[in-house]
Structure 1
Amino acid sequence: MKQVTNTVLMVRPVAFRMNEQTAINNYFQEDLALKNEEINKKAQQEFDQFVSKLKSVGVNVLVLDDDKELDTPDSIFPNNWVSTHKNGNVALYPMYAENRRRERREEFFNVLEDSGFQINNIVDYTEAEEESIFLEGTGSIILDRVNEKAYCALSARADEDLFIEFCEDFEYLPVIFNAYQTVDGKRLPIYHTNVMMCVAEEFCVICLDSIDDKKERKFVINQLKESGKEIIAISEKQMHQFAGNMLQVVNDKGVNILVMSKSAHLSLNDGQIKSITKYCEIVSSDLETIETCGGGSARCMMAEIFLPKA
C-alpha cells in the first residue's frame, strides 16, 4: 500500500467564482470586489501556473476542462466528490451544495481510462443527498492509506454514520473528532478536515488548536504517533493561510514532494520548514484568487489517482 501517488487529475475552471451555496459554512471564503469573469480569468491563470509547476517537477497531471453549461463554480476542487483506490475502486460522494453535485461527470472517468487506468468498481454514496446527509470525499476524510486509518472532523459536510460506513466498505479504522475555528468570536465547525490536517508518509501537518476537546485531541495525537508520524503542529492563524491544506505526491524520480499554496508556504516558520524538508521537497504556487473566493487551496485541487494500470 502506498501513501503517495505520482498522478493527479485536475479540473480547469470555466465558471469559477465565490459559490454562494457553500459560503454558508465555509468561513474561509471571502468576497472579492471583482466581476465574476475577472475572477474566473485570474483563477485560470493560477490554475495553469500551478499545473505547469507540478509538471516541471515530474508530477503526472491529467487535466479535464470544466463544462460551462453546468455552471459549477467549485469544479476546480474535484477531490470532494471522488476518490480512487489501488484495488480499482472509485468512491462517489454526496455533496452539500446542490450546484456541486453537477461536478460528477462521466468525462472524469473517460480521462482516466484513456490514460490507461483501470476502474473495477464504483462505490456510490450519492443517494445520501436525498436525506441531506453529506460526506465530501478527501475534503472530509484524510486517509492514512498505509496504516489503514481514516481521519474525519465532523461537520455539516461530514456525517458520522456515513463516514463509518465508508470505513467499513474500504477497510479503514475511523478516527473521529470535532475541529473548530473562531468566527466572529464563536467557535464553529471547520467545514473540511483537509484544511486543518495533512497526512504524509512520515509526518502529519495538523492544527491541534482546532480540536477543542482535550480527550479528542489526545486521541488524534495517539493515533498519529502509533502510526509513526512526526507531528508538525500549525497555529489557527497558519491554518487560515491554508497551511493544513497540503498534499504529498511523488515525482517520476521517486522524490516525495509536499505541494501547497504560496500563502501556506509563506506562513510556515523555519522550524516547520526544517521538519518538512527532512522528508520531502516543498513546491508552492500562488493561488490567492482561488483561495479567497473558493475557500479551498492546493490540496482540494488535486484528485489523487491510485488506480491500477489496465
Structure 2
Amino acid sequence: MQQTTNTILMIRPINFRMNEQTAVNNYFQEDLDLKNAEINLKAQEEFDDFVEKLKAVGVFVIVISDDKKLDTPDSIFPNNWVSFHENGDVALYPMFAENRRKERREEVLIQIEKFGFKIENIIDYTSAENEGLFLEGTGSLLLDRVNGKAYCALSARADEDLFIEFCEDFEYTPVIFTAYQTVDGKRKAIYHTNVMMTLAENFAVICLDCIDDKKERKNVLKHLKEDGKEVIAITEEQVNNFAGNMLQVRGKNDKRYLVMSQAAYNSLTKAQINTIEKHCEILSSSLETIETCGGGSARCMMAEIFLPKK
C-alpha cells in the first residue's frame, strides 16, 4: 500500500468562474471584478504553469479538457467526484452543487484506461444525492492508505453515514470530527476536510484550532501520533491562505514533493518550511485566480491515480 503516487489526473478548465452554487457554504470563494472569460483565461494560465511544474520534476500528469457543452465552472477540482484505488476500484461521489454533478464523465475514466490503467470496479455513491446527502471525494475524506484510516470533517458536504459506508466498503477506520472557520464573527463548518488538513507519508499539516471540540481534537492527534506522523500545526489565518490544501506526490526516481500554491507557501513560517523540508521538497505554483474564485487550491486540482497497470 502506498500513501503517495506519481500519477495525477487534472482537468483543464473551459468555463471556470466563481460557482454561485458552491458559494453558499464555501466561504473561501470571492467574486473578482472581472469578466468570466478573463477569469477563465487567467485560470487556464495558472493551470498550465502548474502542470508544467509538476511534469518538470517527473510527476506523470494526465490532463483531460473540460467539456464546453457542460456548464461546469468547478471542473478544475476533480478530486471531489472521483477517487482511484490500488485494487482497481474507482469511487464516484455525490456532489452538493447540482452543476458539479455533470463533472462526473465516463469519458474521463475511458481516457485513464487508455493510459494503461485497469479499472476493476466502480463503487457509485451518487444516488445519495436524491436524499440530499453528500460526500465530496478526497475533499471530504483524507485517506491514510498505509494505516487504513480515513479522516473526515463533517459538513453539509460530508455526511457521517455515507462516510461510514465508504469506510466499510474500502476497509478504513473512520476518524470523525467537525472543523470550523470564523465567518463574520460566527463559527461555521469548513466545507472540505482537505482545506484544513494534509496527510503525507511521515507528517500531517493540520489546523488544530479549527477543531473546536477538545475531545475530537485529542482523538485526531492521537491517531496521527500513533501512526508516527510528525504534526505540523497551522493557524486559521494560514488555512485562509490554503496552507492546509497540499498534496504529497512522487516525481522522478520516487523523489517526494509537497505540492502547494504560492499563497500557501508564502503564509508558512520558516520553522514550518524547515519541518516540511526534513521530509520532502516543496513545489509551489501561483494559483491566485483559481483560489479566489474557486475557493480551492493545489490539492483540490489533483486527483491521485493509484490504479494497477494493465
TM-score range, shorter chain: over 0.9
Counterpart residue number, 1:282: 282
- The CA deviation string for residues 215-242 of structure 1, in whole angstroms up to 9 with x for no partner, is 1000000000011000000000000000
Matched, 1:6 2:6: yes
Partner residue in 2 for 1:147: 147
Whole-angstrom distance in 1 between the partners of 2:111 and 2:184: 43
Correspondence list, 1:225-264, <5 A: 225-264=225-264
Question: What residue is the counterpart of 1:273 in the other structure?
Answer: 273
Paired AA for residue 228 in structure 2: G
Shift of 1:111: 1.6
Deviations 1:244-264 (A, max 9, x none): 000000112111000000000
Q: Paired residue for 2:118? A: 118
Write the distance in 1 (CA, Å) between the matches of 2:254 and 2:36: 40
Aligned pairs (5 A) from 1:85-104: 85-104=85-104
The one-letter code of the counterpart of 1:64 is I
Q: Secondary structure at the match of 2:254?
A: coil
State the distance in 1 between where 2:126 and 2:21 align.
18
Query: Could you tell me how far apart the structure 1 residues matched to 2:107 and 2:29 are?
Result: 28
Match of 2:180 in 1: 180
Backbone CA RMSD of aligned residues: 0.4
Question: What corresponds to 1:48 in structure 2?
Answer: 48
TM-superposed CA distance for 1:307, in Å, is: 0.1
Per-residue deviation, residues 154-189 of structure 1 (Å, max 9, x unmatched): 000000000000000000000000100000000000
Match of 1:191, SS state, is coil
Counterpart position of 1:197: 197
What is aligned with 2:158? 158
Q: 1: distance between equivalents of 2:20 and 2:239?
A: 22
The 1-side partners of 2:250 and 2:303 are apart by 14
Separation (CA, whole Å) in 2 of partners of 1:10 and 1:85: 17
Residue type of the alignment partner of 1:273: I
After TM superposition, the score normalised by the length of structure 2 is 1.00
Deviation string, structure 1 residues 128-166 (Cα, Å, up to 9, x no partner)? 000000000000000000000000000000000000000
Q: Distance in 2 between matches of 1:186 and 1:66?
A: 36
- Deviation for aligned residue 1:82: 0.2
Which residue pairs with 1:76 in the alignment?
Answer: 76
Per-residue deviation, 1:34: 0.3
Name the structure 1 match of 2:16: 16
3-state SS in 2 of match to 1:70: coil
Q: Structure 2: state its 5+ residue gaps.
A: none
> 1:107 & 1:272 partners in 2: Cα distance?
41
Shift of 1:106: 1.2
TM-score normalised by length of structure 1: 1.00
Instruction: Report the AA paired with residue 252 of structure 2.
Output: D
Q: Which residue of 2 aligns with 1:60?
A: 60
Task: Supply the AA of the counterpart residue of 1:255.
Answer: K
Q: Which residue of 1 aligns with 2:296?
A: 296
CA–CA distance in structure 2, aligned partners of residues 296 and 49 of structure 1: 17
**Identity of aligned pairs, percent?**
73
- Aligned length in residues: 310
Cα distance in 2 between the residues matched to 1:108 and 1:143: 22
Distance in 1 (alpha carbons) for counterparts of 2:271 and 2:64: 37
Partner residue in 2 for 1:33: 33
Q: Hey, which bits of structure 1, 4+ residues long, moved more than 6 A?
A: none
Partner of 1:223: 223
Distance of 2:109 and 2:152 partners within structure 1: 26
Secondary structure of 1:49 counterpart:
helix
